[in-house]
A and B are shown apart, each in its own frame.
Chain A
Amino acid sequence: MNKLKLDRRTVATARRLAAAAGRPVVDLARSHTTVSVERATLRLAGITGADPDGIPWVNRLVDTVVEQVGLGGGVAGPVFDALQRDGHQDLTLLAQKAAAGSVTFRAETPAAAKRAAARAVKTGLAQVDRRRRERDRLIKRYGDPKQRPWIYLIVATGDIHEDIPQAQAAARAGADVIAVIRSTGQSLLDYVPEGATREGFAGTYATQENFRLMRAALDDTSKEVGRYVRLTNYASGLCMPEIAALAGLERLDMMLNDSMYGILFRDINPIRTFVDQRFSRQVHARAGIIINTGEDNYLTTADAVDAAHTVTVSQLLNEYFAHEAGLEDWQLGLGHAFEINPELPESFRLELAHALLARELFPDAPLKWMPPTKHMTGDVFRGNLLDGFFNLAGALTGQGILLVGMMTEAVVTPWLSDRDIALQNVRYVLSAAGNLHEDFTPGAFIRDRAHTVLGEAVTLLRQIGRQGLLDAIGEGTFGIMRRPADRGKGLDGVAAREPGYFNPAIEILDGPSWTQS
């Protein structure tokens, strides 16, 4: 598809510049570790459960190891060394003893302990692999959605036992993908809560048990509706790597996983974010999970026309980081959004130009198309019309994943009837005009606008290349947020890898390309 007549050389230049800007950050990620990467590794090795205060044993264990021998050598070595010296097999028991202060850890790890650690992590990754094969089987059995884009709906009650019937109802009403919104503030918790949860703020905590419950319920519904219903959650915030691991273990299908969102919007330290992100993406690659990136968020803070090229730049960076971590094109739900002020003349044509640019730059990626939020008002009638145009733009430009817009956006969390009206809107547009892209050839206005945005993206990428990505972020290039590399939350959980750094999960994930057998 080359409806925009994009210049191939400009596109190649943009990719080359994104890679050049991203490479130093990858080097940084490969030379550091974080408490969350180490905790994710131990979770893959089988540790579970939490202390009576709800703090996971994996946190207690990693904190104790870091206190005694530091973080830079990796935590798996000291842990398995202590386990072997102690003569028992159970990590959770070791964590309990360590929390009570009765375990001494050593920095030097004997080879036998390293082998034991590698075996344990391999068992966890084998479970991730099994889950992936299980998904493939279920998709074969029940089938993929008949139409593109896939219809993506959100549930967010705070109570997993309320979320489940709502998610099942949404799937029966036509949702192909269910996202369970997380509780406000979970991204800033430096631990993953444990167990089934019934209290959240404007969302439901991401926990392994909640993942398991919802996936099992949607498996039942998949069978009932005769199509595989996908489940989405958020691998973001301070526990990004751990949540990615839990998602792999419990067969989640999509994860929100942006390269810069936590830095810009949650003030999480940039180095922490990039290190955590690389590990989480490696796990997603292995688990066959589709990531969703968060470019739509830039357009909620900045103007959607002025900042259109920052979306393109971020998509190119997200693509580079994703490929580097082993994700394939079909796993890249690169984000963008319908956020241009509807009062602006020709706003819909501009939206089409931006959406088509993303489509043609990333022809094999299932783009994630986000509905209007910024210009939604309490006028629900106008909101429903705007959502209709959003749906039409999605169909016309071949978007892969369509997050269903609600006319009550900015008014209330969606009611049952809001969701029903929104789905009627999507169904009408897709049935009336789902194949209109066959007849749609953009004219000069849309082509020129797309070329302009791509040109601005290349200019910005050159500037980032000169400056370095971390400095660019530090100086407020994206949105208006200045986020220096030595500030932000979670920095105390970052360490440079020492010469003897040992992490069996990273050794396997960094190893020769894994192929499905």
Chain B
Amino acid sequence: MDTVMSAAVIRPYGDTTGDGMVQVSFTLPLAADKRGEGAALQLAGKMGIDPAMVVHARPIGAQHTFFVVYGRVNHLVEPGKVVVAERDYPLLSAKEVNAAIRARLRRKLVVVGACIGTDAHTVGIDAILNVKGIAGEKGLEYYRECRVVNLGAQVAVAALVEHARAEKADAVLVSQVVTQRDAHLTNTREMSAAFREAFPAAKRPLLVVGGPRFDELQTADLGVDRIFGRGTTPREVASYLIHAVGAR
């Protein structure tokens, strides 16, 4: 263990320490002939695999070929220089989220979601909230310890504030897809200002906004607690919510 940790450089492991062996597969838009195979070797070489062996070449239709390549990669890995971007909250499974809510709140976590302004694209909020979810992950409705109120599209900010109050929301989730004339930023600022006006700081629900065109670092500017960008999954949102609500 110590020797591995202290090694300044390492190489991939095939069957002998330091042999540097890797296996890759890819498809090239070329016919499966000698030229195609040569092209695969050329790519492998540029990827730092030398010597490279094309062990499998299979035509897919007339114009594509799938290759499997084995070979020795000449790059070195320096474990000491690996930088890991730490998430500031732990990523939990649905089960762990439920357990954390039970332990920390002793009641259900209430989430109110909506698309605000004229935005009718509920894709984002539905992906996060609907049971159907996204990318094989179920949405927050699936979490037994979450109570989800999805208000849908084109919800007025005033109505959102009222619903959040009536439902005693722990968190308000807003998604914004339309970005014409920076509508997503204007709408979000309007929303956060309304919540700040309507609630004392300690009672204000967490404000979370998401959408493909947001900058995740812009929270202070927009007056929200968290921004989620493209590719966010329900689990990340749920993990964040219990982390942030629990911390209050």
Q: State the A residues within 8 Å of B (CB).
A: 169, 172-173, 184-185, 188, 201, 264-267, 300-301, 373-374, 376, 409-410, 415-417, 420-421, 479-481, 489
Does B47 count as interface, using CB distance less than 8 angstroms? no
Q: Can you list 17 residue pairs at the A/B interface with Cβ under 8 Å?
A: A169-B60, A173-B61, A184-B123, A184-B126, A184-B127, A185-B122, A185-B123, A266-B130, A267-B141, A300-B136, A301-B138, A301-B142, A417-B26, A420-B58, A420-B60, A481-B141, A489-B152
Given the known interface contacts A301-B138, A415-B27, A420-B58, the answer about A479 and B131 at a Cβ–Cβ threshold of 8 Å is yes
Given the known interface contacts A173-B61, A480-B144, A481-B141, the answer about A374 and B131 at a Cβ–Cβ threshold of 8 Å is no
Is there an interface contact between A267 and B150, defined as CB atoms closer than 8 Å? Answer: yes
Chain B residues, CB < 8 A from A410: 135-136
Give A265 to B126 CA distance when docked, in angstroms: 10
Is there an interface contact between B27 and A416, defined as CB atoms closer than 8 Å? Answer: yes
Closest 10 A-B residue pairs measured CB to CB? Answer: A185-B123, A417-B66, A265-B132, A410-B136, A420-B60, A417-B27, A184-B123, A265-B131, A201-B123, A169-B61
Is there an interface contact between A374 and B136, defined as CB atoms closer than 8 Å? Answer: yes
Which of chain A's residues has its CB closest to B138's CB? Answer: A301
Chain A residues, CB < 8 A from B27: 415-417
Which residues of B8-48 have CB atoms within 8 Å of chain A's CB atoms? 25-27
Give A391 to B80 CA distance when docked, in angstroms: 46
Does B163 count as interface, using CB distance less than 8 angstroms? no
Given the known interface contacts A185-B121, A480-B144, the answer about A373 and B136 at a Cβ–Cβ threshold of 8 Å is yes
Chain B at the A interface: SS class: mixed
Q: Which of A188, A373, A376 has the most CB of B within 10 A?
A: A188
Q: Which of A267, A410, A416 has the most CB of B within 10 A?
A: A267
Taking A173-B61, A185-B126, A416-B64 as known contacts, 19 extra A-B pairs with beta carbons closer than 8 A to each other, sorted by chain A number, are A172-B61, A184-B126, A188-B122, A188-B152, A201-B123, A265-B130, A266-B126, A267-B141, A300-B136, A373-B136, A376-B136, A409-B136, A415-B27, A417-B26, A417-B66, A421-B66, A481-B131, A481-B141, A489-B152
Does B134 count as interface, using CB distance less than 8 angstroms? yes
Chain B window 124-157, contacts with chain A (Cβ cutoff 8 Å), 1 for yes, 0 for no: 0011001110111010011010000010100000
Min CB distance, A303 to chain B, in Å? 13
Partner of B130, one of A172, A173, A267, A480: A267
Give A267 to B27 CA distance when docked, in angstroms: 41
Min CB distance, A417 to chain B, in Å? 4
Give A264 to B121 CA distance when docked, in angstroms: 21
Is there an interface contact between A188 and B131, defined as CB atoms closer than 8 Å? Answer: no
Partner of B25, one of A265, A376, A417: A417
Chain A residues, CB < 8 A from B66: 416-417, 420-421
Which of chain B's residues has its CB closest to A419's CB? Answer: B60
Give A481 to B144 CA distance when docked, in angstroms: 10
Give A481 to B135 CA distance when docked, in angstroms: 20
Chain B residues, CB < 8 A from A409: 136
Min CB distance, A297 to chain B, in Å? 8
Give A64 to B134 CA distance when docked, in angstroms: 36
Which of chain A's residues has its CB closest to B142's CB? Answer: A301
Chain A residues, CB < 8 A from B130: 265-267
Give A373 to B132 CA distance when docked, in angstroms: 13
Q: Which of B26, B142, B144 has the most CB of A within 10 A?
A: B142
Which residues of B216-238 have CB atoms within 8 Å of chain A's CB atoms? none
Chain A residues, CB < 8 A from B121: 185
Min CB distance, A283 to chain B, in Å? 25
Min CB distance, A463 to chain B, in Å? 21
Chain A residues, CB < 8 A from B141: 267, 481
Chain B residues, CB < 8 A from A420: 58, 60, 66
Chain A residues, CB < 8 A from B122: 185, 188
Chain B window 69-105, contacts with chain A (Cβ cutoff 8 Å), 1 for yes, 0 for no: 0000000000000000000000000000000000000
Chain B residues, CB < 8 A from A489: 152
Min CB distance, B91 to chain A, in Å? 15
Chain B residues, CB < 8 A from A173: 60-61
Min CB distance, B4 to chain A, in Å? 24
Chain A residues, CB < 8 A from B25: 417
Is there an interface contact between A301 and B58, defined as CB atoms closer than 8 Å? Answer: no
Which of chain A's residues has its CB closest to B66's CB? Answer: A417
Chain B residues, CB < 8 A from A421: 66
Give A481 to B131 CA distance when docked, in angstroms: 8
Given the known interface contacts A185-B122, A185-B126, A301-B138, the answer about A416 and B60 at a Cβ–Cβ threshold of 8 Å is yes
Give A188 to B130 CA distance when docked, in angstroms: 11
Give A415 to B61 CA distance when docked, in angstroms: 14
Partner of A301, one of B131, B150, B152: B131
Min CB distance, A328 to chain B, in Å? 30
Min CB distance, A171 to chain B, in Å? 11
Min CB distance, B200 to chain A, in Å? 31
Give A300 to B94 CA distance when docked, in angstroms: 14
Which of chain B's residues has its CB closest to A261's CB? Answer: B132
Which of chain B's residues has its CB closest to A482's CB? Answer: B141
Min CB distance, A340 to chain B, in Å? 16
Min CB distance, B142 to chain A, in Å? 6
Chain B residues, CB < 8 A from A267: 130-131, 141, 150
Give A489 to B27 CA distance when docked, in angstroms: 44
Give A295 to B61 CA distance when docked, in angstroms: 34
Q: Which of B25, B61, B121 has the most CB of A within 10 A?
A: B61
